[in-house]
Structure 1
Amino acid sequence: MKLTHLGHACFLVEGGARLLIDPGTMSDFDGVRDLDAVLVTHQHPDHLDVARVAALLAANRNASLVVDADTASTVEGLPAHVVVEPGDRLRFGGENDNATVDVLGGLHAAVYGDVPGCTNAAYLIDEGAFFHPGDSFLVPPSEVDVLAVAVDGPWLKLAEAIDYVRAVDPRVAVPMHEGETTDPAKYFGMLAAFLPDGVVRSPLRTSTDEPR
């Protein structure tokens, strides 16, 4: 299996099939071709850029779009898609050379306060060769060789990411979900999203000694 991180939560998985997981707004996936499937863990834009995925599917006409239950309404205008639930098993690729995808999970990790939750499909590729949990701390029921682990977001702290890797106990852990950290403006915006308007002032633009 070959694994390529395309930014934030997006991975290209190549083995018995070519699978693209979580093509979102912070990821660079537009030029990927010859896909068998595009797998989406949940509806948040950093995991699903609907406009760019529409163009991606137009350039990969043999690719299946796989989404969780709450994302189905978001992709109604896109080509035929498969809505999955925990317990489903999918197979992609040729008759003699293919990849299995087991759907696990259920719900997105609690974000903050009363922010509404959503469904989250975690994907176990080739019986544990690679596991993408989406935005969750789901521990799969079988061994994992390579684990994608989120390292940033309003729904986690780094200590929880460390505990999660320890709980899954993979051979390799690949950090992901780092998009906001690469751009201070986005990171400050994430903080501002959970506070009253005007409270957060970017240190890149304003002085901290403004009169109160």
Structure 2
Amino acid sequence: MRLTKFTHACVRLEKPADTGTGHRVLTIDPGNFSEVEQALDGAEAFLVTHEHADHIDLPRAAAVLEASPRLEAWAPPSVAVALKEAAPSAADRIHTAETDSEFDAAGFRVRTFGSQHALIHPSVAMVANIGYLVDGEVFHPGDSFTVPPGAEVPTLLVPIHAPWSKVGEVLDFIIAVGARRAYPIHNALLNDWGTGIVEKHAQRIGDLYGTRYEHLEPGQTVDL
């Protein structure tokens, strides 16, 4: 499987098609900080963890859905409804993702975990959030530190910085999941200095517990 990071929380996953020619492509969280059209170019499906705009750019994603007759989407109920309203011609290709479920998307097997966004502040409304484990390989938690119960996670995408987290919680998440390797997501609010400080901790603590944490720049690709 090949993983490409885009700006902030968006990633693109690719693997060879079963036919032996071409690739299957799945995108997660094409938000408004991300290169939405590029991330969705040639994709057969995309997943959305929750309704915040930095994880789903509704107008741009809806436009791609309507222009791409083979593209499907899975999202929590409120996002699925909003996408159907924004892209009515694609309504039958927009699916509701429920927690603790499994489905196939673009030839990838997807398991869902978690149910809500991490707490920002008691005065900020909580929204639904679903983490996705794709092909038993890559876990994208969205805006949460959900640890998938009973699941081995080889590759963890780590929300490295957010209004709802602190560095200690990021490190505890890496330790708790126990993945072999980890890469950053949700880092658009950090400058290079801040990124370096947090990732230095992630690399050191990850090494202590058997997780190899590596930095990725937007547009950078790794083979898993």
TM-score (norm 1): 0.79
Q: Hey, which of these two has a bigger chunk of helix by percent?
A: 2
2:99, 2:112 within 8 Å by CA — same for their partners in 1?
yes
> 1:8 corresponds to which letter in structure 2?
H
1:173-200 superposed Cα distances (whole Å, 9 cap, x missing partner) = 11110112249xxxxxxxxxxxxxxxxx
SS at match of 1:103: strand
Match of 2:57 in 1: 49
Q: Does the CA-based 8 Å contact 1:70-1:118 persist in structure 2? A: no
Letter in 1 for 2:181: V
Matches within 5 A, 1:61-80: 61-77=69-85, 78=87, 79-80=90-91
Q: Unaligned stretches of 5+ in structure 2?
A: 18-23, 193-224
- CA contact 1:104–1:123 (8 Å) conserved in 2: yes
- Pairs within 5 Å for 1:30-179: 30-31=37-38, 32-77=40-85, 78=87, 79-80=90-91, 81-93=94-106, 98-127=107-136, 129-141=137-149, 142-179=151-188
1:29 to 19, 26, 36: 36
Secondary structure of 1:65's aligned partner:
strand
* Local SS of the residue matching 2:144: coil
Deviations 1:119-144 (A, max 9, x none): 001100012x1000000111112111
The amino acid that maps onto 1:6 is F
Q: Distance in 2 between matches of 1:182 and 1:72?
A: 33
3-state SS of the aligned residue for 1:54? helix
| Structure 1 gaps, min length 5 | 184-212
SS in 1 for 2:13: strand
Task: Return the letter of the residue paired with 1:144.
Answer: V
| Residue 112 of structure 1, CA deviation | 1.5
Q: How many residues align?
A: 178
* Residues 74, 80 of structure 2: 8 Å contact kept: no
Higher RCO, 1 or 2 (CA under 8 Å, sep at least 6)? Answer: 2
SS of the residue 2:52 aligns to: coil
SS in 2 for 1:90: strand
Which string of whole-angstrom CA distances, capped at 9 and with x for unpartnered residues, describes residues 123-167 of structure 1? 00012x100000011111211111011011111011111110000
Matching residue of 1:10: 10
Q: Matched residues in 2 for 1:175 and 1:148: separation? A: 6
Segment of structure 1 superposing worse, 104-113 or 50-59: 50-59
Q: Secondary structure at the match of 2:171?
A: helix
Identity %: 37
Instruction: Write the distance in 2 (CA, Å) between the matches of 1:51 and 1:71.
Output: 12
Q: Structure 2 length as normaliser, TM-score?
A: 0.75
Deviation at 1:22, TM superposition (A): 0.3
Q: Which runs of 4+ in 1 moved over 6 A?
A: none
**1:63 Cα deviation after fit:** 1.3
